[in-house]
Structure 1
Amino acid sequence: MDYETIKLEILERKAVLTLNRPNAMNAMDSRMMGELADCFEALHNEKGVQVLVIKGEGKVFSAGGDVKMMVSSTDFSDFGGIMGDVSRLVRAYYTLPMITIAQIHGASAGLGFSVALGSDIVVAEESSKLAMNFIGIGLIPDGGGHFFMKERVGTPKAKQMIWEGKVLNGQEALALGLIDYNVPTGTAAATVDQIVGKLLASPIAAMIETKKILHDTKLPELEAILAGETKGQTAMRQTKDHLEGIQAFVEKRTPEFTGN
């Protein structure tokens, strides 16, 4: 299948998916969301693939959802379809019968960070800028962000971090348990290659079966959170605070929120 915003390479038992909008910092627009959902669903049929690496082309992993798309879209009739694709891509990614690895350099923010946290193994460079920063534009996390944050750090800490929206480097994220490897800048690719080599030299079929057992028990909770995120994000998209947040982002100024 041909894609416009992502690239997929299958190399025997390993696949590499590259987010490919480098001129837009790999921001996820509606096309990329749909293509990711289609790609992850199609990968379920690639029975020979046991490891998937997801990375970003250019200077960053992903800046998150495309704010320019949000600014230009005031028609919410299509928003349900966009959120449907987000839920579809998360569901397909979480249930992939392979070990998934996020290879992060540069920024991984918002929806981009949600997707990264949905990986089985997260590798980030120490200079990375990692943020669940939806709050900065008056939104809530989507892409399963609530679920993956809670899984990694627990409910109380997840709430506090989501509310704060702080930008973390690799060392800070590792200390909090958000990522699994903090590596020197420029070495993420080499580290991931080493991890992939070790995985493929292991009884990986047993590892994938363990993943399936654990993820199957959590899937109903993820589904409930995705439904909640769809409902909540639809409501937040229509608030004055969100409009102020995206306008301030584009104008590069501090937003003035009113709680409405």
Structure 2
Amino acid sequence: MAYETIELTINDRQGVLTFKRPESLNAMNEVMLRELADCFEQLQEEKNVQVLVIKGDGRAFSSGGDIKMMLQKDKIEDFHEIMDIISRMATAYYQLPMITIAQVHGAAAGLGFSLAIASDFIIAEENSKLAMNFIGIGLIPDGGGHFFMKERVGIPKAKQIIWEGKIMNGEEAQKLGLIDVVVKDGKADQYVQEFVKKLLSSPILAMLETKKIYHSERIEELKNILNQELVAQTKMRQTKDHLEGIKAFVEKRAPQFVGQ
């Protein structure tokens, strides 16, 4: 299938999915979200792919949800439609019957970071900018961000990272347990290629059975959290703090939050 905002290539037992909106640092607009959800759902039936690498074209992995889209989807029904697509994307990615690898360079922020940490392995360049930074515009993580953060670092640390919204480099994120491997800038592609070769020369069918056992146990929890994120995000979008956060972002100034 031909896509507008992503590219999927399959060679032997490996798939590579590339985000293709480099002009916007691969920000996820409605078209990209739909294409990602469709692609991941179709890959559920792909029996010959055992490893999938996701990465970004240009200067970044993904800067997150497209702010322009967020401003345009101000009606509740339109916002709920977007959140439903995001839930489809996260659920399908989590259930992929293959080893998933996020190859990160540049920014991996917000929704882009939620998708990255949903992967089985995360390889990031040392000067990547990694952030669960929804808090900066008065929102909560979505795309299963709460679930995947908890899976990676546990609930107490997940709360602290979400609340701080700090931009981390590769080394800082690795120390927290958010990513698995840090490589020098410009070396992620080479490292991932070698890593994929290692995986494909391993008893990967046994590895995939282990993934299936763990993920089948947790899929209902992920779906529940996605539903809770929809309800909570709908509430947050109507707050004064969110409106101030968006306005401050557009005006490139520090926000003045009032707790309302």
SS of the equivalent of 2:10 reads strand
Unaligned runs of 5+ in 1: none
1:69 shift after superposition? 1.7
Query: Contact conserved, 2:73 with 2:79, CA < 8 A, in 1?
Result: no
TM-score between both structures, scaled by the size of structure 1: 0.98
State the alpha-carbon separation in 1 of the partners of residues 248 and 72 from structure 2.
14
State the alpha-carbon separation in 1 of the partners of residues 188 and 194 from structure 2.
10
Residue of structure 2 equivalent to 1:199:
199
Query: Contact conserved, 2:29 with 2:66, CA < 8 A, in 1?
Result: yes
1:77 and 2:65 correspond = no
Query: Contact conserved, 1:102 with 1:122, CA < 8 A, in 2?
Result: yes
Query: Contact conserved, 1:53 with 1:103, CA < 8 A, in 2?
Result: yes
SS of the equivalent of 1:122 reads strand
CA RMSD of aligned residues (A): 0.8
1:43 shift after superposition? 0.5
Query: Contact conserved, 2:143 with 2:226, CA < 8 A, in 1?
Result: yes
Matched to 1:19, the amino acid is: F
Residue of structure 1 equivalent to 2:183:
183
1:30 shift after superposition? 1.2
1:71 shift after superposition? 2.4
1:241 and 2:241 correspond = yes
State the alpha-carbon separation in 2 of the partners of residues 72 and 147 from structure 1.
27
Q: Structure 1, residues 224-245: CA drift from partner, whole Å, max 9, x if none?
A: 1111111111111111111111
Unaligned runs of 5+ in 2: none
Which segments of structure 1 move beyond 4 Å, counting only runs of 4 or more? Answer: none
| Correspondence 1:1-260 to 2 at 5 A | 1-260=1-260
1:76 shift after superposition? 2.5
Over the matched positions of the two proteins, sequence identity in percent amounts to 65
Query: Contact conserved, 2:111 with 2:145, CA < 8 A, in 1?
Result: yes
Q: How many residues align?
A: 260
Comparing 205-214 and 239-248, the one that deviates more? 239-248
SS of the equivalent of 2:18 reads strand
SS of the equivalent of 2:122 reads strand
1:73 shift after superposition? 3.3
State the alpha-carbon separation in 2 of the partners of residues 171 and 122 from structure 1.
12
Query: Contact conserved, 1:71 with 1:247, CA < 8 A, in 2?
Result: no
State the alpha-carbon separation in 2 of the partners of residues 248 and 67 from structure 1.
12
Matched to 2:208, the amino acid is: I
Query: Contact conserved, 1:132 with 1:141, CA < 8 A, in 2?
Result: yes
Matched to 1:49, the amino acid is: V
1:259 shift after superposition? 1.0
